[in-house]
């Protein structure tokens, strides 16, 4: 039985990871300050004697033991990471330094949840890991993008300087149950709007693209990465099927049988025009590729939101 820390374990992806790693017979400690995560995402796990929740902010140090650390603590929705951008930067940088310190002291393996945002508004398409990105360091998304870039740097420096077993994944847009209805990201926004017969808000003209990965596929890739020896990454994890935001809106309207109308709002600044992962490295090194198509994943996510969390928000 491994002792595993999951920072951000009460959040969307973290809660799925907690569940899966407990099912696999591990002891799981969830560290979360509940900024965007909720107890309801993990409350059912409290029945398991091998699950523990510690209310903790990763910008402060903590002295506990672990064999593995999945470092996910950080707000991920633009609305949430821009709410207090200085705190977002502190979470990425100080939070990663603290968890790296813990990993160094306990000789734990540590995996960082980085992001496709390290590629910024990419000039290379699809994005390969070798691409260094096109990132604005002074814009409204910079607290998140540059914070994650610095976190990647720290991971690599601890790996080189202290021989830490470090692993970096770059997650592309992921969706599924346990997203907050007021999360502000596009999939949850469109589903909640369609379900509540509110206007569907497309930012810009909707021609910008994203590639959406269902959370179960992502969690498989994350665990494979942790269990693959002698591979630090960074590695892209995402679904390479690319859609315009307008196509996503039309799919959600069709699947929810909603009569909501589409309205257009201004595009936020630095919003990437295109995004699609090249997942050749994940295929070769992890034997991983996503299996769940967008329509199938959307149906499961719509069922989740319609079962309660998305009603009348």
List of residues contacting ligand NAD (CB under 6 A): 7-8, 10-14, 32-37, 57-59, 72-76, 80, 91, 95, 113, 115, 171, 173-174
Give all strands (DSSP E) within the chain, no chain letters: 3-7, 27-32, 51-55, 68-71, 109-115, 166-171, 174-175, 200-203, 209-211, 213-214, 235-237, 242-244, 262-265
214, interface contact from ligand NAD, ligand UDP, none, CB < 5-8 Å by kind: none
**Shortest distance in whole angstroms from residue 112 CB to ligand UDP:** 18
C-alpha span between 205 and 242 (Å, rounded): 17
**Shortest distance in whole angstroms from residue 144 CB to ligand UDP:** 8
144 included as an active-site residue: yes
Q: Can residue 246 be called a binding residue for ligand UDP (CB under 6 A)?
A: no
Near ligand UDP by CB under 6 A, which window of 17-25, 29-37, 154-162, 200-208? 200-208
Give all strands (DSSP E) within 151-227, no chain letters: 166-171, 174-175, 200-203, 209-211, 213-214
**Shortest distance in whole angstroms from residue 275 CB to ligand UDP:** 6
Q: Can residue 186 be called a binding residue for ligand UDP (CB under 6 A)?
A: yes
The catalytic residue among 70, 81, 119, 144 is 144
Closer to ligand NAD by Cβ: residue 191 or 260: 191
Q: Which two tokens stand for residue 235?
A: 């590695």
Near ligand UDP by CB under 6 A, which window of 82-90, 202-210, 224-232, 291-299? 202-210
Stated as kind and residue range, the H or E segment containing 245 is helix 245-256
For residue 110, CA distances in Å to 69, 93, 106, 224 come to 5, 15, 11, 13
Q: Can residue 173 be called a binding residue for ligand UDP (CB under 6 A)?
A: yes
**Shortest distance in whole angstroms from residue 55 CB to ligand UDP:** 27
203, interface contact from ligand UDP, ligand NAD, none, CB < 5-8 Å by kind: ligand UDP
Cβ pair 248, 186 in contact under 8 A: yes
Site for ligand UDP in 77-116 (CB under 6 A): 77-78
Cβ pair 166, 160 in contact under 8 A: no
Please state the separation of Cα 50 from the chain's center in Å. 24
C-alpha span between 214 and 32 (Å, rounded): 23
Residue 254 backbone dihedrals phi, psi, to 5 degrees: -65, -50
**7, 127, 142, 208: which one binds ligand UDP (CB under 6 A):** 208
**112, 245, 298, 302: which one binds ligand UDP (CB under 6 A):** 245
List of residues contacting ligand UDP (CB under 6 A): 77-78, 173, 185-186, 189, 201-203, 208, 210, 245, 267-268, 271
Q: Give the residue numbers annotated as catalytic, written as ranges.
A: 144
């Amino acid at each position: 039985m491994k002792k595993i820390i999951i920072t951000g374990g009460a959040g969307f992806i973290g809660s799925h990871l907690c569940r899966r790693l407990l099912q696999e017979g591990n002891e799981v400690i969830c560290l979360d300050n509940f900024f965007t995560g909720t107890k309801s995402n993990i409350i059912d796990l409290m029945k398991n004697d091998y699950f523990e929740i510690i209310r903790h902010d990763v910008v402060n140090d903590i002295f506990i033991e672990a064999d593995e650390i999945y470092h996910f603590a950080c707000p991920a929705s633009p609305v949430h990471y821009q709410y207090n951008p200085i705190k977002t930067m502190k979470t990425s940088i100080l939070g990663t330094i603290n968890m790296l310190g813990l990993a160094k002291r306990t000789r734990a393996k540590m995996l960082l949840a980085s992001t496709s945002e390290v590629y910024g508004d990419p000039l290379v398409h699809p994005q390969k890991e070798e691409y260094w990105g096109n990132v604005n360091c002074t814009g409204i998304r910079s607290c998140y993008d540059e914070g994650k870039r610095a976190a990647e740097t720290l991971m690599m420096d601890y790996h080189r300087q202290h021989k830490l077993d470090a692993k970096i994944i770059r997650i592309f847009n992921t969706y599924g149950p346990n997203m907050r209805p007021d999360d502000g990201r596009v999939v949850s926004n469109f589903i909640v709007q369609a379900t509540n017969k509110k206007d569907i808000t497309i930012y810009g003209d909707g021609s910008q693209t994203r590639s959406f990965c269902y959370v179960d596929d992502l969690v498989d890739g994350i665990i494979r990465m942790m269990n693959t020896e002698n591979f630090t990454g960074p590695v892209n994890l995402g679904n390479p099927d690319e859609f315009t935001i307008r196509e996503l809106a039309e799919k959600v309207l069709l699947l929810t049988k909603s009569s909501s109308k589409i309205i257009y709002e201004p595009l936020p600044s630095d919003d990437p025009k295109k995004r699609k992962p090249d997942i050749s490295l994940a295929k070769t090194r992890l034997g991983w590729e996503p299996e769940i198509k967008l329509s199938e994943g959307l149906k499961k996510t719509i069922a989740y939101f319609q079962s309660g969390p998305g009603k009348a928000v």
